[in-house]
Structure 1
Amino acid sequence: MISIEGIAKHYGDFKALERVDLEIEKGEFVVLLGASGCGKSTLLNLVTGFDKPTAGRIVVNGREVNKVDPHCGMVFQQYALFPWLTVIDNVAFGLKMKGIAKAERLEVARRFIEMVGLRGFEDKYPNALSGGMRQRVSIARVLANDPDVILLDEPFAALDAMTRQVLQDELLQIYEKSKKTIIFITHSIDEALLLSTRMLIMSARPGRVVTDIRNDLPMPRNAQVQLSPRYNELKGQIWDTVQSEVMRSLQATSH
């Protein structure tokens, strides 16, 4: 589904990414982990076409990415909803831009609003919703556009622990139903282990993939998975790698 070939991204002398090669299969749930500043968000922006690489190329479902790609849907940390539109109009917005008739786009929007657990809130405005509910609207809007790939940049980072856990569970259910290809950024190893089918750990700057781990914890998952010996084994492996990259980053910064 996604082929990342020799990608580099430089901003003048600053090297954000260097020599990133990666293949992501259709239906994988890939989580990117790594220290702050290692280029995770930069890589997502390149995949969706918000930015262009200094070197290399990215191909999504057979199409080289040269501009903002409608076949990729992005969910940001800060919701990015239109405050003057209701929930249903926010979710249907992309379909409206595609020229889909009003009755059809509202029907699609209602289906995904129900999928994310917001039935009954169709006519509310974003300022009447909690943070967790706003993020559900953001996810429903992406799903309604039926992209090949869903990209999520720390979507639950600003939420309280209980809301975050509820949305993690809901995202897993959506993934099971939709079988979409997902790339998800987080700083939480626990979140990565709960959600992913595969985890990629990025190096300290310049960013590249240093460890590629298949998550073999059984699906469906919930918080109980943390009690398994395999969970702790994987968590220790990830922590050791991330810690060594953080230390390397700190040493490089101090020189």
Structure 2
Amino acid sequence: MAAVKTSTAAGDAMISIRGVSKSFGALKVLDQVNLEVARGEFLVLLGASGCGKSTLLNLVSGFERATVGSVHVNNREVRDVDPACGMVFQQYALFPWKTVRQNVEFGLKMRGVSRTERAKTAQHYIEMVGLRGFEDSFPNALSGGMKQRVSIARVLANDPDVMLFDEPFAALDAMTRQVLQEQLLSIYEKSGKTIIFITHSIDEALMLSTRMIVMGAKPGRVVQDITNDLPHPRAAEVQLSPRYIELKKSIWETVQVEVMKGLEHAK
């Protein structure tokens, strides 16, 4: 069986989700979720469609408010859209009339950062995501994977405490997805950011995370909390290791049970 993550010490928590339930009218989406995310942790949320993963991410970012309970980021309660959190969506949400450099600089410009400083910062993160030479390109000239790297660079340029990823690679082909997973791991190791990442893919979760949370069927709740102790640096070859197979089996058994529960509830 996979090792169970011990609770995060209160003083070390970047994100604290305490007794959170969320309802939309009569529909209860989350039920009494308690979760602590340590500074510098790469947490992946897994679970079947409709288990509340995206809703939980929206509560952390401030796009939604909890019906019951509270969410704290860096010891501050989240009451509105929080600049401490940067969100990367499945859709790229780039300005099509702006170049790569202008897209990455946008948040800095809105904050009144000087032209010289924002150009320097943007260039640093453009190079970090491997897009040097594309600074003056427009989004329509980029592949899907390149667009998503621009989105990641734009979030990094704003220097948030927390980066939130809502299935950012779901629309990409398998090869591009694998390349971006490895690049994101490299960015995570260089930046030291706290990350919450949503995926439906157990393999993606195992490649990226330091810790995995499996969400249960409606209403969403934490049913499995697993430390990912696969070694770093992590490349595709790790998928052949006995520990990888052991972790994947443990997660799949839990997900399978929760999917079946969801199907029963839908009848």
Q: What TM-score do you get using the length of structure 1 for normalisation?
A: 0.99
CA distance in 2 between counterparts of 1:57 and 1:15 reads: 16
How many residues get paired? 254
CA distance in 1 between counterparts of 2:231 and 2:99 reads: 38
Shift of 1:152: 0.2
Secondary structure at the aligned position of 2:56 is classed as helix
Counterpart position of 2:46: 33
Counterpart position of 2:251: 238
CA distance in 2 between counterparts of 1:9 and 1:83 reads: 35
- Establish whether residue 172 from structure 1 lines up as the match of residue 185 from structure 2: yes
CA distance in 1 between counterparts of 2:243 and 2:127 reads: 35
Secondary structure at the aligned position of 2:33 is classed as strand
Q: After superposition, where does 1:1-255 map in structure 2 within 5 Å?
A: 1-254=14-267
Q: % of aligned pairs identical? A: 72
CA distance in 1 between counterparts of 2:119 and 2:54 reads: 32
CA distance in 2 between counterparts of 1:247 and 1:108 reads: 48
Q: Deviations over 1:53-96 (max 9, x none)?
A: 10111000011100000000000000111111110010011111
Shift of 1:49: 0.3
Amino acid in structure 1 at the alignment position of 2:152: I
4+ residue runs over 4 A deviation: none
Q: Deviations over 1:8-34 (max 9, x none)?
A: 110111001010000000000000000
Amino acid in structure 2 at the alignment position of 1:41: S
CA distance in 2 between counterparts of 1:176 and 1:51 reads: 30
Amino acid in structure 2 at the alignment position of 1:119: R
Secondary structure at the aligned position of 2:204 is classed as helix
Q: What TM-score do you get using the length of structure 2 for normalisation?
A: 0.95
Secondary structure at the aligned position of 2:197 is classed as strand
Amino acid in structure 1 at the alignment position of 2:28: K
Shift of 1:161: 0.7
